[in-house]
Structure 1
Amino acid sequence: MSRSGEGTEIDGGEEEEREGGQESQTEPPSLVVPAGPCWPALTFIFSHAMGTEEQYNGPLAVTVRTVMGQSAVVQTWGYRSVMQLKITLSRLWGLLAQDIHLIFQEQAMIDDLTLGSYMTEDSTVTLVPRLNSGFY
């Protein structure tokens, strides 16, 4: 673990919390991400495919990677939607949410209809910017 890099604080920390005033249950907490490959687990909220309110007995853990090789383990508790996950991850890595695609080892495109069936304990998620990557 390298101690030379400084941490990156997500969502502006306390300042933005005071400014917003209202706290939503679907909003993830502020995340502090140290520089380097060994990042702590991140906690998100995620729901079942087809938009049901079903909750997993979790936590499920997936490894998230960017095309630059950055990675983090994501602890999942039952997400609300794929877009919520994309928005959180886009803040984390400074990308636009619409330019993020979630692709598992099988190269399957992940969307609200397929998320539930692919989000398993041993899934590996790869984030790729849209650009000209050849992914959908």
Structure 2
Amino acid sequence: MLREWFIRKGSAGDKVVSEGSPKISADKHVFFDVFKNQRRRYIIQLVAENEEIDIADLAEQLTIEETGNEPEGDKEEYKKRYVSLYQTHLPMLNGSGLIDYSEEAGVVEIREDGRLASDLLEIIDRGF
């Protein structure tokens, strides 16, 4: 599935060919651009663990992870994370086909490609 994500999201200029495998239009830069940000890596892993999560809960978890503080004691930090989720990270992950993000419902759901990306990130975090 992740291979298909590369095919859908890749550029026509980057061809990866190995003997016996199909040609893949894989722009690895798209994948790495999405995951160069630690926050997006954490979001994918957190959403994959929960299958579905409310944006407010996601912002709360990010605040705890990044500051070590509960959001109730640090409302400004919580607000910064909520806004960055809403304006930047969730639209990018949604546009990449890794999550389904319903702005109206305020809910984020993992897609199959997102689950696979989360598995890959977990392997990388363990050091292969």
TM-score, normalized by length of structure 1? 0.29
The higher radius of gyration belongs to 2
Structure richer in strand, relative to its length: 1
Higher RCO (CA-CA < 8 Å; seq separation 6+): 2
